[in-house]
Structure 1
């Protein structure tokens, strides 16, 4: 009897067939695991595409034709979304894509996705190849990084050309890897450790990209199209809708920060007032989160290049647990030192977001004393659940401010500052009813719908409670409902607006269900009683103060395809004070005052210095040059700080490290932060903006002292 031959009798001595087969099966499974997921187009996605195009055309506030011009904009925006640094594709790829430049409008109306998916497939292929190149370079022990050679890397690549070919792309990535190693070296990491960290970073990014599915590709395609209408119009797939809800709960039960993806970073958009991050005090808008660690000593996971929902998963957690964020400051140049922010997770409590008051006194040149009231409003809130239950003591912004006005009246204040800095909005009803406390009957805001119908239903219905002079203090993070209130006060001539240009969020969105997911769509815009929109331009202050937040990084105008500012007909409304007549003298006095004020001199000069430092479009890859630039920048900051301290009679710092050391010593400990159950105390003596707003209000009061109208009524 002949024995059948075994095609795989032994792999090597001592390994039998079954073990060899299992081993080969394991290798096959590993190889399959490393293969990119197939990007399949489903019938649901095709139908959803056509439905979204139809919904945008019929219901979006921006009326634009779906034509070749829109198709061209889509391709440009799609490529910018996928490859903002022009470092993955090469010029030949772009030329290939341009063959479809005028057909996407027709494709999407029919639900055709193949050309757009083909672009995504090549993007994924190029991305993985670039990561593999970077890892190979870092793992090549024979390759040394020469940080003595004077060469540079173009970091602002908005106007750069795509790499001409693979050789040019390889050279670009050689510089990018070298820059990343140098950045970590300058941040204090040894080169070997920097190599190891970057290998892990690039490998993780490659792995994540290989796991992208057809749903990821579909989301990228559709949202690159919806964003052509405005940045707040987005498609939410079932998975994204779940993450959207998680992000909303994160703002209330996590660290209290609204986040978004920008290039390879997770960027802080704004902090929730009285939230854990706001209380802790170190995290700032436009900061970039580069690492996340759990507990007081857990390993910091590098999250550069991660998807937003993945970063959110790491940041959110159980109440009272600690999360540590590695942060690259908003204005920091590449290579700047990161710092660790420890935050105790918690839920934002309604009572901690409540309006609060303070009183301080100022004296003019004639030794006349003025009592200034302050009402700080972190957000426009309302306890809807208590209201629905008909609880007579339900909390709301208006009810709390009404009570505070009564308390300030009892203290005989001469005027009031309404502080709306960092107030991101909230209830439109509360913005209207708050305005009602300061003006008599009249319209507060106009709302124009997609069909161009204008509603003026949000009105003040009662007589004003407080009639004395007021100042409204705003900044770049004052948005939405804050802008409605500030705009109404400005239009009615009711008070002086002080600060910086507000955010410019003047549009309203709604969720429209689709068969597969939902569409968040912009359906209307806010307009002031003057007819001016709050969209894009926001509210412009009557008297401007230095802005520490870069408006090119934060605010509606920083978004591509934001709806423009425009105006409609004004509605009849009263004028309370002749602000235009009073303003020139008040503004001149303000300028004379801040011209010699140490804090404002410092803020203005610091703002200029930081802008100059962050506006460079190239970075040096020479360690000596970078260290010299860093030392020079720190010396300039030290000089500015010591100039301020000398003028205020304070002891000067001997080195820049002394500034860092003192700032670190006063930062909130996460345990102490958790014990703080109340809102931050209003301290005008530590807040030059609030103090100057008080002086402006004092000048306003003096200009209106002939007015015999009662300052407080109807209590």
Structure 2
């Protein structure tokens, strides 16, 4: 099934991924850029300045952003370079704009080559430290958020910090039940992998990292991929491999989940989220966990993939989770990713409230899918709208009292389906506006005057509801057709396009360079791909979904805020703005007065619910822990903190979505959404 994807794109600022060698060895030769790198740098800079949605200046301000981004990519934790190194690099801060236009790559290769030499000495320090017993009775503390700290003044100061870093890592493993000997062995292997990783850097890796420091300064969804990364990306997007159904990339020392493929095994567990770190991998139900911190993504993928029907277990930890929190274990049965299984599901729930039983139709939409080939052929094709329409008709035959559309974790999909789905609940009219970088505005309309369902409607969303799902929820809210509850959505209001640079720069080498027995095509240079932002979405009211997303009419208690986990958490995300409103007919089903009555009822129920009050208390503790940077290096103190933490997460765990057809008793948000809908039914 083919589809127009408007899902969350993520910048590929990771290194190219290679299998690790058995005996890591340093290459002392400095890496140097090729003429191809210089040519691509110049072309990409000009191309982005001409065709990116946001017209930006290649000037000193951009140069400074690129400089900071690149140093952060190389030494995110401020654990290798000293102030002397940074002062030497500072001479380039305001000259990178000229370098981008002329193909000059002096700074990135200077920084990377310096890093390689520094790491050789640091690895020797680490080996010596790990050869000695750990002091778990230390009265020292360490700062877990080193990227906010100043650069060390000397190598001696860094040595002291590294002693704390290593002891902190060892302490975390001891708190998880590992023995001292096992800890030392695991850390030794971890840093040997780091050494192997540094040793295998190529000029292409340096170039890709630098180019993404540049694209990140423009906007977080614009990126550059060298040819090998672009090829792997296209394989991942084909979704034809057996495994867990996730796209992964390196972020610092971790392998991170970039995207979860709807219909895949990991998606079906509903126990993982985008931006989760994978800390360990175990084979089968009884296998021991293999620590993969410091692994390259390619190596981690080889461990995670396996034969269909076999079990793999992952240790996951949310990117924004408190440093002291324990990872969660997720059991997955490997199977072929079947996109056709990522379809809407419907069921009828019964909710008892104030002595009355309500029949509620629940529709879970994991993504907005459409078989475009089938639609073009005029065949009976699969689509979100057709499936949901069938559910709605079945629900009405069963005499349901109201409908919940669950958009949690829906990262987007077909724009056409978001428009057509809106049309099931409203008469014809505008659904979304699109604006190009040149200022042209197109209004996308639902042209079907029929309405499939006109009864009480509630949309449940969370922070991972994005793109096309925000278009649908925003339209329902703007028409005052239904009630939006849950968390503020992600806020991705931009559209990206992939551009193959080979189309512009590719040319065959002369025939005399052709190898015997080849066609000559193998001899061509490859230049990679650019992904760039070309449009923005606007609601029919003229408000952008960018950064703000869709703000719920009734916000449920949540541990997360948009400035930490949504689009607005990304410093270079395109700004929120507004354009002129479309002409549309307000449905006046959910009025401002009705919203206030519903909020008042929700607030009263919140105060009287022991479970919801427990949740609010846990959220306060969670936020305090998340903001904590300083941690004790004493085992007894940390053990006490851990035991207290484990008793403070019972309600927060119930914020995870349960699959349609399962027991929903542990799905706190869905249960509360059902109660709000019963209020809406009564008050309407």
**Corresponding residue of 1:547:** 558
Deviation at 1:381, TM superposition (A): 1.1
**Corresponding residue of 1:391:** 379
- CA 1:480–1:582: 2 relative to 1, 3 Å: same
Higher relative contact order (CA 8 A, sep 6+): 2
**Corresponding residue of 2:475:** 488
SS of structure 1 residue aligned to 2:473 = helix
Q: Aligned partners of 2:32 and 2:24: how far apart in 1?
A: 17
Q: Aligned partners of 2:277 and 2:63: how far apart in 1?
A: 32
Structure 1 residues 206-221: aligned runs within 5 Å:
206-221=195-210
Residue by residue, what CA displacement relative to the aligned partner does 1:110-144 show, whole Å, maximum 9, x if unpaired? 011112211121123223332332122112xxx33
**Corresponding residue of 2:174:** 185
Structure 1 residues 523-542: aligned runs within 5 Å:
523-542=534-553
Contact 1:483 1:539 in 2 (8 A): yes
Structure 1 residues 688-703: aligned runs within 5 Å:
688-703=668-683
- CA 1:58–1:518: 2 relative to 1, 3 Å: same
- CA 1:452–1:87: 2 relative to 1, 3 Å: same
SS of structure 1 residue aligned to 2:444 = coil
Q: Which moved more, 1:552-561 or 1:540-549?
A: 552-561
Q: Aligned partners of 2:359 and 2:169: how far apart in 1?
A: 55
Q: Which moved more, 1:129-138 or 1:444-453?
A: 129-138
Contact 1:441 1:463 in 2 (8 A): yes
Contact 2:347 2:660 in 1 (8 A): no
SS of structure 2 residue aligned to 1:268 = strand
1:97 aligns with 2:108: no
Q: Aligned partners of 1:377 and 1:252: how far apart in 2?
A: 23
Deviation at 1:686, TM superposition (A): 4.2
**Corresponding residue of 1:173:** 162
**Corresponding residue of 2:212:** 223
**Corresponding residue of 1:109:** 101
Listed as ranges, the gaps of 5+ residues in structure 1 are: 1-29, 642-658, 668-677, 705-715
Contact 1:483 1:502 in 2 (8 A): yes
**Corresponding residue of 1:707:** none
Deviation at 1:300, TM superposition (A): 4.3
**Corresponding residue of 2:615:** 603
Deviation at 1:330, TM superposition (A): 5.2
- CA 1:460–1:303: 2 relative to 1, 3 Å: farther
**Corresponding residue of 1:61:** 53
Deviation at 1:569, TM superposition (A): 1.0
Equivalent position to 1:589, from 601, 623, 628:
601
Q: Which moved more, 1:335-344 or 1:542-551?
A: 335-344
**Corresponding residue of 2:37:** 45
- CA 1:247–1:547: 2 relative to 1, 3 Å: farther
Q: Aligned partners of 2:359 and 2:285: how far apart in 1?
A: 46
Contact 1:37 1:210 in 2 (8 A): no
Deviation at 1:36, TM superposition (A): 4.2
Q: Which moved more, 1:295-304 or 1:164-173?
A: 295-304
Deviation at 1:181, TM superposition (A): 1.6
- CA 1:360–1:190: 2 relative to 1, 3 Å: closer
**Corresponding residue of 2:62:** 70
Residue by residue, what CA displacement relative to the aligned partner does 1:276-299 show, whole Å, maximum 9, x if unpaired? 123335434443212234455666
- CA 1:550–1:133: 2 relative to 1, 3 Å: farther
**Corresponding residue of 2:532:** 521
Q: Aligned partners of 1:636 and 1:555: how far apart in 2?
A: 25
**Corresponding residue of 1:559:** 570
- CA 1:320–1:380: 2 relative to 1, 3 Å: same
Q: Aligned partners of 1:535 and 1:77: how far apart in 2?
A: 23
**Corresponding residue of 2:631:** 619
SS of structure 2 residue aligned to 1:115 = helix
Q: Aligned partners of 2:281 and 2:647: how far apart in 1?
A: 31
**Corresponding residue of 2:437:** 450
**Corresponding residue of 1:510:** 497
- CA 1:545–1:679: 2 relative to 1, 3 Å: closer
Deviation at 1:369, TM superposition (A): 4.9
Contact 2:368 2:412 in 1 (8 A): yes
**Corresponding residue of 2:462:** 475
Contact 2:345 2:660 in 1 (8 A): no
Deviation at 1:306, TM superposition (A): 2.5
- CA 1:581–1:182: 2 relative to 1, 3 Å: same
SS of structure 2 residue aligned to 1:694 = helix
Q: Aligned partners of 1:167 and 1:588: how far apart in 2?
A: 60
Q: Aligned partners of 1:619 and 1:258: how far apart in 2?
A: 32
Contact 1:440 1:463 in 2 (8 A): yes
1:87 aligns with 2:79: yes
Higher-Rg structure is: 1
- CA 1:263–1:50: 2 relative to 1, 3 Å: same
Q: Aligned partners of 1:258 and 1:680: how far apart in 2?
A: 24
**Corresponding residue of 1:121:** 113
Contact 1:251 1:257 in 2 (8 A): no
- CA 1:297–1:363: 2 relative to 1, 3 Å: closer
Structure 1 residues 116-155: aligned runs within 5 Å:
116-139=108-131, 143-155=132-144
Matched positions, count:
637
Q: Aligned partners of 2:286 and 2:668: how far apart in 1?
A: 37
Q: Aligned partners of 2:659 and 2:181: how far apart in 1?
A: 46
Equivalent position to 1:291, from 280, 283, 292:
280
Q: Aligned partners of 2:387 and 2:81: how far apart in 1?
A: 56
Contact 2:239 2:337 in 1 (8 A): no
Contact 2:352 2:358 in 1 (8 A): yes
Contact 2:24 2:192 in 1 (8 A): no
Q: Aligned partners of 1:33 and 1:371: how far apart in 2?
A: 66
**Corresponding residue of 1:401:** 388
Contact 1:247 1:312 in 2 (8 A): no
Q: Aligned partners of 1:322 and 1:193: how far apart in 2?
A: 25
Q: Aligned partners of 1:338 and 1:495: how far apart in 2?
A: 38
Equivalent position to 2:362, from 359, 365, 374:
374
Q: Aligned partners of 2:350 and 2:643: how far apart in 1?
A: 42
Listed as ranges, the gaps of 5+ residues in structure 2 are: 1-21, 506-526
Contact 2:24 2:196 in 1 (8 A): no
- CA 1:252–1:630: 2 relative to 1, 3 Å: same
Q: Aligned partners of 2:328 and 2:442: how far apart in 1?
A: 49
